[in-house]
Amino acid sequence: MGKNPDNLMIAQGKYLFTIGGCNDCHTEGFIQSDGKVPVSEWLKGSTFGWSGPRGTTYPRNLRLFVKDLTVDQWIQKAKTLKRRPPMPWFDLNAMKEDDLRAIYNFIKSLGTPGTQSPDFIPPGMDAPMPHATIPGPPQSH
């Protein structure tokens, strides 16, 4: 009791980011350090790329993504956006509105947005930075 509702929402947002696995890709070095990246560095995007038949993608800086969005604009985008692999956009689309509000409040609480991750590299072009290779979808017979 007596807790500030905004702080409760921020804590819930942090929890959702954690169990949602978003840091695994969107926070530099998260998997490699067994998740030991300080919260102050979370969600600034990553230079570790993912190469596959649809090109090489870099997890975007989510602080920058929400920087100029109202909470309602964020909810609208999160429920409809589609991105290239390995972004699990279909999982984000399924998130409930209250949860999306909480994660918005959490990202906004993180402070300086930092810089954007490297640009997408089209299929067939070399990715200069470290990257993982992901297969295409299973072939149908």
Binding site for ligand HEC (CB under 6 A): 20-22, 24-26, 50, 57-60, 62, 65, 83-84, 86-88, 91-92, 120
Shortest Cβ 10–ligand HEC spacing (Å): 15
Neighbours of 105 (CB within 10 A): 21
If the CB atoms of residues 91 and 97 are measured against ligand HEC, the closer one turns out to be 91
Residue with tokens 């992901």: 134
Q: Considering beta carbons, is residue 22 or 110 the nearer one to ligand HEC?
A: 22
DSSP bridge pairs for 27:
45
Minimum distance from residue 26 beta carbon to ligand HEC (Å): 6
Task: Give the integer Cα–Cα distance in Å for 67 and 39.
Answer: 18
3 CB burial (10 A radius; 0-12, 13-18, 19+): exposed
Q: What does the alpha-carbon distance between residue 56 and residue 101 come to, in Å, rounded to a whole number?
A: 30
Which residue type occupies 74?
W
Q: Residues with Cβ < 8 Å from 136, sequence gap 6 or more?
A: 52, 53, 54
- Shortest distance (Å) from residue 129 CB to ligand HEC: 13
Q: Which is nearer to ligand HEC, 86 or 123 (CB)?
A: 86
CB of 22 vs ligand HEC, minimal distance in Å: 3
User: In this complex, which beta carbon is closest to ligand HEC, that of residue 8 or of residue 132?
Assistant: 132
